[in-house]
């Protein structure tokens, strides 16, 4: 019999980050969402590529530069095909590239709505008196840890904070106000079972 139940939660955001850009139509900064479309322009043997974003209020567009005046020979065949077909997976890698967005926008709204895919890692069946959760977070998410745990475990955020103070909830890496911080890849949460917890 095993007291410990290990699970992995893979967190998948439902919406891509939205940069705030000065909208020429609205006359002020607005959040822009990705259209999922690539715009290409060839100039001789060089290529420009932009990811097209749309203003959330007026549908005005902003072309986010992906690269400019890149020699076509420096671009892999797979990337060229992805660009020409607006490959969703390829586009998504740029939509969630927070570092690249920060080069273009001072403010970026990261989505808080997520899907949680849960996978049990424990082979043995047992009492499961202790739950160990490892988070897999590969894309930018603006969701706080206490909000995630409250939604998935059916507990209030104040109850989670109380459990942490009582030592029944441990988080690694541990930081001041860790429950109020955004979720991070590799975070490990250990929770002792009690009757109101749902798992």
Domain ranges of the chain: 4-14+111-192, 18-109
- Residue 88 backbone phi and psi in degrees, to 5: -60, -40
Instruction: State residue 4's pLDDT score.
Output: 81
User: 153 near 197, Cβ under 8 Å?
Assistant: yes
Tell me which residue has tokens 């290990």.
6
pLDDT tens readout for residues 108-160: 998 889 999 999 887 665 556 888 999 999 888 889 999 999 999 999 999 99
Q: Given a cut of 60, is residue 5 above it in pLDDT? A: yes
Q: How far is CA 34 from CA 37, 54, 69, 141, 160, in A?
A: 8, 6, 22, 16, 35
pLDDT tens readout for residues 86-104: 999 999 999 998 888 988 8
Q: Tell me the C-alpha distance between 193 and 18, whole Å.
A: 38
Rounded mean pLDDT, 22-29: 93
User: 185 near 138, Cβ under 8 Å?
Assistant: yes
What does the mean pLDDT of the chain come to? 89
């Amino acid at each position: 019999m095993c007291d410990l139940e290990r699970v992995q939660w893979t967190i998948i955001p439902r919406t891509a980050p939205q940069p705030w850009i000065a909208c020429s139509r609205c006359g002020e900064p607005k959040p822009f969402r990705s259209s999922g479309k690539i715009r290409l322009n060839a100039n001789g043997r060089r290529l420009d590529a932009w990811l097209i974003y749309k203003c959330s209020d007026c549908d005005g567009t902003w072309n986010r530069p992906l690269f400019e005046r890149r020699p076509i020979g420096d671009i892999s065949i797979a990337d060229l095909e992805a660009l020409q077909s607006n490959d969703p997976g390829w586009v998504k890698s740029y939509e969630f590239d927070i570092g690249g967005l920060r080069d273009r926008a001072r403010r970026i709204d990261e989505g808080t709505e997520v899907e949680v895919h849960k996978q049990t890692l424990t082979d043995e069946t047992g009492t499961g008196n202790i739950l160990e959760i490892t988070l897999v977070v590969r894309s930018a998410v603006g969701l706080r840890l206490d909000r995630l745990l409250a939604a998935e475990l059916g507990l209030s955020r104040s109850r989670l904070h109380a459990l942490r103070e009582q030592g029944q909830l441990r988080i690694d890496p541990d930081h001041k106000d860790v429950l109020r911080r955004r979720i991070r890849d590799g975070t490990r949460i250990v929770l002792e079972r009690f009757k109101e917890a749902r798992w």
